[in-house]
Chains A and B, each alone.
Chain A
Amino acid sequence: MRIVPLSPEQLRVALDEDAPGAAAEAWRLLREDVRALAPPLDPEFERRLQARLDARREPRASRPLRGRARHHRRAARADRAGLAIPPLHAQRHVAALRSRLPAAVLASGVAAAACALILALLAAGIFSGGGRPSRSNAPAGLSASPSSRAPSSSAAAPAVGGTATAIPNATDEPPLVTRHASGRVQERSASITLAASPPEVQAVADGVSRLATQQGGYVISSQVNVQHERGGEATLSLSVPSARLTQVLSAFARLAPVRAQSQSLQDITDSYESARRTLADAVAERSALLRALARASTQGQIESLRRRLSLAGGAIARAKASLQSVSQRAARSRVEVSVLAAARAGDKRSTLARGVHDAGHLLAVVLVVLLIALAVLVPLIALIAIVVMAARRWRRLQREQALDRA
Chain B
Amino acid sequence: MRALLSPVREDPLDAASFDAVYRECVADVHAYALSLLGDRASAEDVTALAFERLYRSRARLDSARGTPRAWLFAIARNAALDELRRRRRRPQPLSHDPQPRGTSAGEAEQSQLLDLIARRETLRDALAQLPAREREIVLLKFHGQLSNAELARVLGITESNAGTRLHRALEHLRECCEAADREEVA
Q: Decide whether A and B assemble into one complex.
A: yes
Selected from A3, A11, A33, the residue in CB contact (under 8 A) with B120 is: A33
The interface residues of chain A lying within 8 Å CB-to-CB of B170 are: 11, 27, 30
Q: Would A35 and B142 count as touching, CB distance under 8 A?
A: yes
Say which size band chain A's interface belongs to: 35 or more
Q: Does A406 touch B at the CB level, under 8 Å?
A: yes
Q: Mark A288-316, 1 if CB is under 8 A from B, else 0.
A: 00000000000000000000000000000
The residues in B between 147 and 186 inclusive whose CB is less than 8 angstroms from any CB of A are: 147-148, 156, 163-164, 166-167, 170-171, 173-174, 177-178
A interface majority secondary structure: helix
Interface-located stretch among A36-44, A201-209, A258-266, A351-359: A36-44
Q: Mark A390-406, 1 if CB is under 8 A from B, else 0.
A: 00000010111111111
Interface-located stretch among A49-57, A210-218, A239-247: A49-57
What is the number of residues of chain B that contact chain A, defined by CB distance less than 8 Å? Answer: 64
Q: Does B132 touch A at the CB level, under 8 Å?
A: yes
Q: Does B67 touch A at the CB level, under 8 Å?
A: no
Q: Would A99 and B59 count as touching, CB distance under 8 A?
A: yes
Q: Does A170 touch B at the CB level, under 8 Å?
A: no
Q: Mark A226-261, 1 if CB is under 8 A from B, else 0.
A: 000000000000000000000000000000000000
The residues in A between 1 and 24 inclusive whose CB is less than 8 angstroms from any CB of B are: 3, 5, 7-9, 11-12, 15-16
A52 closest partner in B (C-beta): B48
B32 closest partner in A (C-beta): A38
A45 CA / B173 CA spacing, docked (Å):
31
A34 CA / B28 CA spacing, docked (Å):
11
Interchain Cβ contacts under 8 Å between A and B, 20 examples = A5-B171, A5-B174, A8-B167, A33-B120, A34-B142, A37-B35, A38-B31, A39-B34, A39-B94, A42-B40, A49-B48, A52-B52, A53-B55, A56-B55, A95-B59, A399-B81, A399-B82, A402-B82, A402-B88, A406-B91
Binding site for A on B (CB under 8 A): 12, 14-15, 18, 22, 26-28, 30-32, 34-36, 40, 44, 47-48, 51-52, 55, 57, 59-60, 78, 81-82, 84-85, 88, 90-91, 94, 96-98, 100-101, 119-120, 123-124, 127, 132-133, 136, 138-139, 141-143, 147-148, 156, 163-164, 166-167, 170-171, 173-174, 177-178
